[in-house]
Amino acid sequence: MKSLRRRNIRDRVMEVVLMASTILVLLPLLIIIYHVISNGISAINWEFFTEELGSPSRAMQGRPTGLVHTMIGTLVVDFMALAIAVPVGIGAGVMLSEYPDHRLNPTLRIMNDTLNGMPAILKGLFAFVLIVKPMGTFSGIAGAAALAFVMIPIIARTTESALMSIPWTIREAALAIGLPRWRVVLSTVMPAAKTGLVTGILIGFARAAGEAAPLLFTSFGNNYLPNHWTGFIFNPVDTLPQRLYSLAISPYAQWHSMGWASAIVLLGFVILCFTAARLASRQKYQL
Amino acid sequence: MKQNSEYLTANNLPRNFEITRDSIFTASGKNIRMETRNLTVKYGSKIGIQDISLPIENKKVTALIGPSGCGKTTFLRALNRMHDLTRIASVTGEVLLDNKNIYDPDVNPVIIRRKIGMVFQKPTPFPTMSIYDNVVAGLKLVGIRNKSLLNEVCERALTQAALFDEVKDRMKDPGMSLSGGQQQRLSIARALAVEPEVLLMDEPTSSLDPQATSRIEELIHTLKDQVTIVIITHNMQQAARVSDKTAFFYVGHVVEMGETKTLFTNPKEKRTEEYITGRFG
């Protein structure tokens, strides 16, 4: 009887410890969200979503100012990065999972892990040397390339683990009806792993969407809307994480609260991506 | 049909059982479809099967029996180059299909697997595909788009696998929505859809109930007019019921092979007798 009571007490203690750690995980997030919203909400109005930023005097004199060019720029740069990263990342993931015997495989694995662990700013530097220097100008496409380097190793790893989670028997069954290997991967393994693939892409995307460092000397930033839409690709482009930084270090109180507001938008964007990833990862059939 | 462990003995024979003798390791006729010569499969340094030379007769059912881990599956997978995918597996010796070694460098394993189909122990419907798409996967995914041809093949294969009547009104349902026994028959239908000349079956009924088992055995009976079948089974009665030839595997070797009737009634080797009467294994 005595030992049973002791076990019950231990059980209660464990429960309390688990609850405490859960709260510790949630608390910083809640504090951040509270701070961001309470500081930024005052700067959010209609103009915030429809006007370009312009010079600081606009905000100081109460003329309409906003971050529409930043939001469009973020979407353009992020989706360009996605368009570059998805084929490369998925391709590398398929290589890692489906061709373990290939002689390039070990090298690819090491390179991918290195790229994953490399500081994001170095990826920006790489894109600077690769694209900004030859082009002679900062540009959205250079920023997209830098962000793609952030996404690729994440997508490759999640693709690999999503494909590995599909039972080997599916591949054998597909081979046994005389399908070539690429067809087996493309038409039976990848569809079965679809939710995992989508989740991986969204996680990579959300992660890159929050990066400021690789964009500092690639997309550079811009206070104005371009004259033509191609300006979002070939000219310096503003993005939310980087604009957040430059607003925050500016000497203007109005811009500080706009910085907080841009944080609200960025946070909302990233939360949306992760929620979509969660929804997409709901499995229909248990394998 | 009973599914218990009542082993066959000389005193316990099915009706219509007659005793014929056949020499071990040689086929009775010239009717050999496949043949292995000194086939050895190693996993790293571990030997899976060693030096197996076995004829497989055309349009006959060959059963492989033997205790677990004796190399039956290893042997079966060598017959359609399934070991190609396992890095550590190395195959030496020859597997002849119509007198051509399928391990020759000029042979495309994809073509070989079209001719030599395989059904696995566990049902393996493609998880994202409908019943219909599962059956015609082997055709559709290599570019055959002719709707009426696909429909025809689908119906034929499902009928052969004794599944058509159960699924004809729900072809668009996911393959995974079927019961285990139906899934296995779906896997068989999928294998039959590409019209293989040889069908390898690795314990196709081990996960099925007696009713589904008997349907698959009936299927094997009807199929053997068209297809050469090699089947692994742990069920002695099943081997006796469905096969014409039986090979007894033991620790990587074939101990005895012959006419099923002979092997079960008058085994030459002591170990064969001990195994089929249930004294070990």
CA–CA separation, A185 vs A269, rounded Å?
33
How far is A179 from chain B, CA to nearest CA, in Å?
6
Nearest to B191 by CA among B182, B203, B199: B199
pLDDT of residue A284: 53
Q: What are the pLDDT digits (tens) for A56-93? A: 999 889 899 999 999 999 999 999 999 999 999 999 99
Q: How large is the average pLDDT for residues A9-32?
A: 95
How far is A160 from chain B, CA to nearest CA, in Å?
18
* CA within 13 Å, CB half, A144: 23
Other beta carbons less than 10 A from residue B270's beta carbon: 10
pLDDT of residue A141: 95
The one-character DSSP state at B174 is B
Q: What are the pLDDT digits (tens) for B119-132? A: 999 899 999 999 99
CA–CA separation, B55 vs B246, rounded Å?
11
pLDDT at A286 over 70: no
Q: What are the pLDDT digits (tens) for A188-240? A: 999 999 888 998 999 899 899 999 999 999 999 999 999 999 999 999 999 99
pLDDT at A9 over 80: yes
Indicate the helix (H) or strand (E) that contains A124: helix A120-127
Question: Does the beta carbon of B114 lie under 8 angstroms from any beta carbon of chain A?
Answer: yes
How far is A193 from chain B, CA to nearest CA, in Å?
9
Contact B138 A177 (CB under 8 A): yes
pLDDT of residue A139: 95
Question: Does the beta carbon of B82 lie under 8 angstroms from any beta carbon of chain A?
Answer: yes
Least trusted range by pLDDT, from A132-146, A239-253, A266-280, B233-247: A266-280
For residue A166, what are its two tokens?
A: 């599909």
Contact A171 B85 (CB under 8 A): yes
pLDDT at A148 over 80: yes
Residue in A with minimal Cα distance to B177: A285
* pLDDT classification of B281: cutoffs 50, 70, 90: low
Q: Which positions in chain B touch A167 (Cβ < 8 Å)?
A: 124
The residue behind tokens 């007798």 is B273
Nearest to A131 by CA among A153, A148, A118: A148
Q: Which positions in chain A touch B113 (Cβ < 8 Å)?
A: 175-178
Q: Which positions in chain B touch A99 (Cβ < 8 Å)?
A: none
pLDDT of residue B105: 92
pLDDT at A146 over 80: yes
Indicate the helix (H) or strand (E) that contains B229: strand B228-232
Question: Does the beta carbon of A102 lie under 8 angstroms from any beta carbon of chain B?
Answer: no
Contact B117 A176 (CB under 8 A): yes
- Name which CATH class applies to A47-280: mainly alpha
CB B217 within 8 A of CB B193: no
Residue in B with minimal Cα distance to A180: B110
Q: Torsion over CA of A74, A77, A80 and A85, rounded to 10 degrees?
A: -100
Higher pLDDT, B21 or A257: A257
* pLDDT classification of B14: cutoffs 50, 70, 90: very low
pLDDT at B280 over 80: no
Contacts made by residues B273-278, CB under 8 angstroms, sequence distance 24+: B275/B65, B275/B66, B275/B67, B275/B248, B275/B250, B276/B7, B276/B8, B276/B65, B276/B236, B276/B248, B277/B7, B277/B8, B277/B9, B278/B5, B278/B7, B278/B236
Give the strands of the sheet with B198-202, arranged side by side.
B116-119, B198-202, B228-232, B61-65, B245-250, B253-259
Query: What is the complex's ipTM, to 2 decimals?
Result: 0.82
Question: Does the beta carbon of A9 lie under 8 angstroms from any beta carbon of chain B?
Answer: no
Residue in A with minimal Cα distance to B196: A177
CB contact set of A232 (below 8 Å; sequence gap of 6+) = A72, A73, A76, A77, A140, A226
pLDDT at B16 over 80: no
Q: What is the mean pLDDT of chain A?
A: 92
CA–CA separation, B187 vs A259, rounded Å?
59
CA–CA separation, A34 vs A136, rounded Å?
42
pLDDT of residue B2: 38
For residue A260, what are its two tokens?
A: 């907080």
CB contact set of A286 (below 8 Å; sequence gap of 6+) = none
Question: Does the beta carbon of B83 lie under 8 angstroms from any beta carbon of chain A?
Answer: no
pLDDT at B227 over 60: yes
pLDDT of residue B22: 37
Indicate the helix (H) or strand (E) that contains B249: strand B245-250
Give the domain ranges of chain B: 32-126+196-276
The residue behind tokens 């039976």 is A188
Contact B187 A183 (CB under 8 A): no
| Nearest CB neighbour to B127, from listed A101, A171, A285 | A285
User: Which residues numbered 13-42 in A keep a CB inside 8 Å of some CB on B?
Assistant: none
Question: Does the beta carbon of A198 lie under 8 angstroms from any beta carbon of chain B?
Answer: no
CB B262 within 8 A of CB B268: no
Q: How large is the average pLDDT for residues A143-166?
A: 95
The topology under which CATH files domain B32-126+196-276 is: Rossmann fold (3.40.50)
Q: Which positions in chain B touch A191 (Cβ < 8 Å)?
A: 126-129
pLDDT at B5 over 50: no
The answer to whether the Cα torsion of A125, A129, A131, A134 is positive or negative is: positive
pLDDT of residue A283: 57
Residue in A with minimal Cα distance to B120: A173
CB A228 within 8 A of CB A209: no
Q: How large is the average pLDDT for residues B226-235?
A: 92
Contact B113 A176 (CB under 8 A): yes
User: Which residues numbered 158-177 in A keep a CB inside 8 Å of some CB on B?
Assistant: 167, 169-177
* pLDDT classification of B10: cutoffs 50, 70, 90: very low
> In percent, how much of chain B has pLDDT > 90?
54
Question: Does the beta carbon of A188 lie under 8 angstroms from any beta carbon of chain B?
Answer: yes
Give the domain ranges of chain A: 2-43, 47-280
Q: What are the pLDDT digits (tens) for A103-126? A: 999 999 999 999 999 999 999 999
Nearest to A102 by CA among B85, B14, B173, B181: B85
pLDDT of residue B30: 60
CA–CA separation, A160 vs A152, rounded Å?
12
Q: What is the mean pLDDT of chain B?
A: 85
How far is B176 from chain A, CA to nearest CA, in Å?
7
pLDDT at B7 over 90: no
pLDDT at B25 over 50: no
Q: How large is the average pLDDT for residues B30-52?
A: 89
Q: How large is the average pLDDT for residues B137-162?
A: 91
| Nearest CB neighbour to B124, from listed A169, A178, A183 | A169
CB B98 within 8 A of CB B77: no
pLDDT of residue A62: 87
The residue behind tokens 């070939």 is A234
* pLDDT classification of A245: cutoffs 50, 70, 90: very high
CB A230 within 8 A of CB A195: no
Contact B126 A183 (CB under 8 A): no
